Structure formats: C-alpha cells, structure tokens
Amino acid sequence: MNCPACGALMVEEDFGGVQVDVCKNGCKGIWFDWQELIRLNEEHEGAGNALEEALKSPRVNDAGREPLNCPKCGMAMHAHKYSSAKEVSVDECYGCGGFFLDSGELREIRDNYMSEEERDAYVQKLLDETPEYKQMEEETRQLRAKAGRKFGKVLRRTIFLPIP
C-alpha cells in the first residue's frame, strides 16, 4: 500500500499487537484500519516505535492541501479537527473507515490532548453530524465509533513519549 500523503510504499508494523502501515521510507505517517483499532488491547503499552518515529518528524505543511485519497479504497478522505483549540487534523475515510495520521501532527496533538469525556463527546458529535455515518447500519456505526475512541486513546499515549 502506498502512503496517501507522499506516495512512498508503506511498511506493515506491529503496534501494540495490531498491524498498522507506517510510511517508513517517506513522511512517517501512520495508517490505521478500523478493524485493527477495535482489536487494540488498551493494556498493551508497547506500541512499537512508529509513534516515536512520527514524533521525530517535522510537521508536514498540509494547509490548503487537496483531500487525501484513501490508500485502501480510493475515496476522498475527510480531514477533521482533532482539537478545536488548534489546527490539528486527522484524515478519516468514511468508506473503509481508515485513519491516517500525518507525521508531526502528534506534537500538536500531545499539546492539545482531550480528556476521555471530551473525546467521547467529540466522537458522538461526529456520529450525529456526519452524513456518511448517519447512513450506516447501527451496528457498523457503533463499531466505527469504537474505533474512533480507540484512535483517541492511541493518540493520548503519545503524551507519555519523550520529546525527541
């Protein structure tokens, strides 16, 4: 699979017991499948070094960037704000449910991390306001919401990583 941001070939890596695709040879972005996210064991602290690698990378300038196309299904991805306080966005594919995390965004995310309550409210807001989510079967919607919350937890972990 090729990186949606820079086009480099991505490498599969273990991430706390699940597989993620890491842009090791390019921008260090990380791709998460929602099916993998919901299997993520939260007790598992070892997240591989993908997050640390991403944290070391400079922030990509994605202002005014065209929407990324999903590397899995080709649909245009939706960038949404992770935090209202700062311009931190994550890219999500409403088609296949993947998340792409740009390298360098972690830095900002860790400065603006949300509490569990804020994060749950945020995921709920997305579910309520996103037309693509509204059209899904209830069961799928709930699973996607779960993946979204897990993704938030992954991001929160980065606040414990040392600043390179």
Residues forming contacts to Zn ion in the complex (CB under 5 A) are 3, 5-6, 8, 23, 26-27, 29, 70, 72-73, 93, 95-96
Tell the smallest beta-carbon distance from residue 82 to Zn ion (Å): 19
Helix/strand/coil for 109: helix
Tell the smallest beta-carbon distance from residue 85 to Zn ion (Å): 26
Cβ distance to Zn ion smaller for residue 114 or 126: 126
Cβ distance to Zn ion smaller for residue 54 or 114: 54
Cβ distance to Zn ion smaller for residue 44 or 59: 59
Cβ distance to Zn ion smaller for residue 26 or 48: 26
Tell the smallest beta-carbon distance from residue 88 to Zn ion (Å): 18
Q: How far is 139 from 28, CA to CA, in rounded Å?
A: 33
Tell the smallest beta-carbon distance from residue 98 to Zn ion (Å): 5
E strands, 10-122, in order: 11-15, 18-22, 30-32, 78-83, 88-92, 99-101
- Burial of 88 (C-beta count, 10 Å sphere; 0-12/13-18/19+): buried
Tell the smallest beta-carbon distance from residue 54 to Zn ion (Å): 10
Residues contacting residue 153 through CB under 8 Å, at least 6 positions apart: 40, 42, 119
**139-149: string of b/e by CB count within 10 Å (b at 16+)?**
eeeebbbebbb
Cβ distance to Zn ion smaller for residue 1 or 159: 1
Determine phi and psi for 46, rounding to 5 degrees.
-70, 110
- Alpha carbon distance, N-terminus to C-terminus of the chain: 28
